[in-house]
Homo-oligomer: A and B are copies of this chain.
């Protein structure tokens, strides 16, 4: 299991199974809005699939950039390491989301992408994507939207880091996760965290103890039920109130 035998039939089967046109994430991912015909062209482009085991790097800061990656399944984090040893998680990415957009600017990746669980990705060679998006305005426009959405998301994080208190940050974080799980057809109220308290803290600009205390407090107040990485959201509107109520 997990082994792929390079027999012709198996390879073909694999390709068919993982083509964009058949992917159930296509409405969340790059193919959004494309016609059948256009999808076929994209299928040709997205030639490389790869499995990334939990803990493995998909790419590293400083390595040459030549492709962006769509997550087929699994869960990733990206982090940045400063010269002086500080590091920060800049994002958590799940199925249907794109990784590597930061590498376009300098032709080198500027962060590390690490799988938080066994994952599968589609590599999209960037020069090919640019070339194809010159032919397919819908693809071009959608790609621009995806990049722009990343900028908007980052502004949201800046807002969170710049103006919110610890519990507000964690509430915002949980609601965001919940909403993204919902968009993928999972329960909005119950999920497993793939990341540690320390990684959450790094992302939210907090120490792991503070994250842990906030979880405990949310539980005491009946907003959520926590048991290690298992989260059940009991009171969405409670969390929302917590998120934007300045005391």
* Interface, chain A (partner B; CB < 8 A): 80, 82-88, 90, 101-106, 110-111, 130-131, 133-134, 137, 140-141, 144-152, 154-155, 157-159, 161-164, 202-205, 244-246
How long is the Cα–Cα vector from A80 to B154 in the complex, in angstroms? 12
Among B90, B103, B149, contact of A105 (Cβ-Cβ < 8 Å): B149
Asked if B158 contacts A157 (CB within 8 A), the reply is yes
A contacts with B: majority SS? helix
Within the oligomer, what is the number of copies of this chain?
A: 2
- With most chain B CB atoms within 10 A of its CB, the pick from A83, A144, A157 is A144
A101: chain B residues at CB < 8 Å are: 147-148, 151
Nearest CB of B to A217, in Å: 20
Asked if A110 contacts B150 (CB within 8 A), the reply is no
A204 to B, closest residue via Cβ:
B162
How long is the Cα–Cα vector from A104 to B146 in the complex, in angstroms? 9
How long is the Cα–Cα vector from A242 to B104 in the complex, in angstroms? 31
